[in-house]
Amino acid sequence: MRNEGAVTAITAKRLTLALCAAGVIGGAVGALAVNHNNVAAETAAAAAPAPAAAPAPAVAAAAPAATVTLPDFTRIASQNGKAVVNIRVMGGMKTANRGNMPQIPPGHPLYEFFRQFQDPRFGGGREAPAPVFGAGSGFIVSPDGVILTNAHVVQGADEVTVKLQDRREFRAKVLGADPRTDVAVLKIDAKNLPTVPLGQSRSLLVGEWVLAIGSPYGLESTVTAGVVSATGRSLQDGVVPFIQTDVAVNPGNSGGPLFNTRGEVVGINSQIYSQTGGYQGLSFAIPIDVAVKIKDQIVATGKAQHAKLGVNVQEVGQAFADSFRLDSPEGALVSSVERGSPAERAGLKSGDVIRRVNGKPIVSYGDLSSIIALSRPGERASLDVWRDGKLVRIDATLGDANEKAKRAPQEELAQSSDGGAKLGLALRPLEPIERRQSGIATGLVIEDAAGAAAMAGVEPGDVLISINGRPVNSVEQVRDVMGKASKSVALLIQRGDAKIFIPVRIG
C-alpha cells in the first residue's frame, strides 16, 4: 500500500516531520501539585460592652473550595528513570541523525558537547571529518540487557555504546532494526538491570497526562510532561498509528520512553512536527503495543516481518462518499490492485471501498495500512467491502511485504467514441499504437478537460478507465453512468504509470 508523507532530517528548515535523535538520558525529579483551600484568619480584640442589638439573620456556611491536584511525576522520574539509557553511535556519514545544533560560542559550558557531534560550524565551515557521531535514548525492558530504541538512532552505526544512569558504559549489539516501524532492539552484556514496566497504549485516552524522559540537546535527565493530543495518527506510509502529544520532545529524545501516570511505558518518542527542527507542540510516539510486537519478532528471528494485501488506496472524502453512495466518508478506496497479489486472488477490484478488516473499522486509509502491515504473512484478513452499493465479505490470505510488486492487470480492449459533455470532457478511443506503447488495453483518452472535471484536476492526456467503479469503454457507457449520478462521480484515471481516483462534483 502506498501512502503519502515523508520524514526528513531534524535540521530541516521547512515545516516537516523530523526524527528526534541526538542525546543522552537519565532520571530527574519534578513535582507539580496545586491545592486551593479557603483560608480564614481573624484577630480578636477587646471591646467594651455594647447595647444589645437585634440578632443578625442566619448566613449559610460557605462550601469548601474543591481541591485540584495535578499529577506528581517525581516517583516515575526517580524510580523508572534508572532504566532509561543514553545511546551513542559512531559510524560513517550515514550514521543516525545528529540534530539541529544551536550556535554555541567558545567558552560556553555546552561548547565541548556540541563540538563532539562534528557540527560543521565548529570546523570553520569545512566538512566534518569521518567518523561522525550521533546520539539518542533507549530504555531497558529485561534485566539481562535488552533495550528498545528507534531504528533511526542506530541506522548506519558501526559502533553502539550504551551508558546507564549509574554511569557504567557497555558496548551494545544491535539485535535488529525495523525501519518501517522505526523500532530497534539492542543487547548489552549485563545482569540484574533495572527495567521499566510496559503498559498498553491502546488504553490511552485523549487528554491523559504523559511524561517523557530524555536528553534534549545533551541536557541529561530532562523530564517533560504534557497530555495525549490524539491517538492513531497516520504519518509517512501509515504503518504506525502514532500517539500525538504536546510533550516537549527535541533532538536527543529519540528512542526514549513515554510514560503514563502509573509509571508504565506507553510509547517510544520518535518524531516531531517542526519548522525549525525543534519542538513546536506536536510530538509523536510509537505505541508500545506496536514496539513490543516488533521486539518479540526481532529477539526470536533477528528481523521483523510485515504482511501486504497488494492494493494502492486513497482517502475517502465527502465527494467519493457521494459518488459511491456511502453513508459516511470513511474507508480506504482501492485505486489499483497488484497483479498476482493476495488482493487480486481474493477478488478485490478498483473502486472497492474497504470499510472493515477483521471487524476493525477503517476510518482513514492509514488504518488499513497499519492493520495490514502489522500483521504477519500468511495470516487471514476478513474484509468488509463496499461494492455496487452494498457490503460484501472478502477473505484474503496476506502476503509478504518484501515481495516485489507486479504490474497491475489491464482490461480487455473495447471500442469507444467521443463524448462526456456533462463532465466537461472530450473523449476518444485509444489508438492501437497508444495501447501498445502505454500498455493500456481499454478506456477513453481525454483530449480536453473543462468545467467540473478540469476544476477537479483532470488533465488532457489522461485515460478514463471507469466511473464510480464501472469500466467505461464507450460514450454510451459514460452517458449511462452519468445519467444515474447525482452529486458527484469518482473517475478512475490512468496518468502515466499511476492509477488515481479523482472526485468530480456535478450537482
Burial bucket for residue 438 (CB in 10 Å: 0-12, 13-18, 19+): middle
Helix (H) or strand (E) holding 291: helix 288-301
Q: Active site residue: 152, 335, 369, 384, which one? A: 152
- Of 192, 168, 167, 165, nearest to 81 (Cα)? 165
For residue 203, how many other CB atoms are within 10 A of its CB? 11
Helix (H, G, I), strand (E, B), or coil: what is residue 230? strand
Q: Which residues are bridge partners to 503 per DSSP?
A: 490
> Would you give the distance in Å from CA 236 to the centre of its chain?
6
* Cβ-proximal residues to 5 (8 Å cutoff; 6+ apart), any chain: 17, 235, 236, 237, 238
Cα–Cα dist 131/121, whole Å = 16
State how far the Cα of 210 lies from the Cα of 267, in Å rounded to an integer. Answer: 10
Closest CA to 499 of 411, 414, 399, 429: 411
Which residue has 571529518 as its cell numbers?
Answer: 129
**C-alpha torsion 420→425→428→434, nearest 10:** -140
Single out the residue of 204, 213, 177, 184 nearest to residue 81, CA to CA.
213
Active site residue 152: yes
Q: Are 226 and 32 in contact (CB under 8 A)?
A: no
Name the amino acid, one letter, at 502: I
What are the backbone dihedrals phi and psi of residue 202, each rounded to the nearest 5 degrees, phi first? -70, -15
**Which residues partner with 385 through β-bridges?**
354, 392
Helix, strand, coil abundance in the chain, percent, nearest 5? 20, 35, 50
Non-local (6+) Cβ contacts of 48 within 8 A are: none
Of 119, 182, 289, 352, catalytic: 182
Catalytic entry in 137, 201, 221, 254: 254
* Per-residue CA distances from 387 to 115, 117, 219, 333, 347 (Å): 60, 56, 56, 11, 12
Residue 375: active-site member = no
The strand pair at 360-361 and 353-357 is best described as: antiparallel
182 included as an active-site residue: yes
**Enzyme catalytic residues:** 152, 182, 254
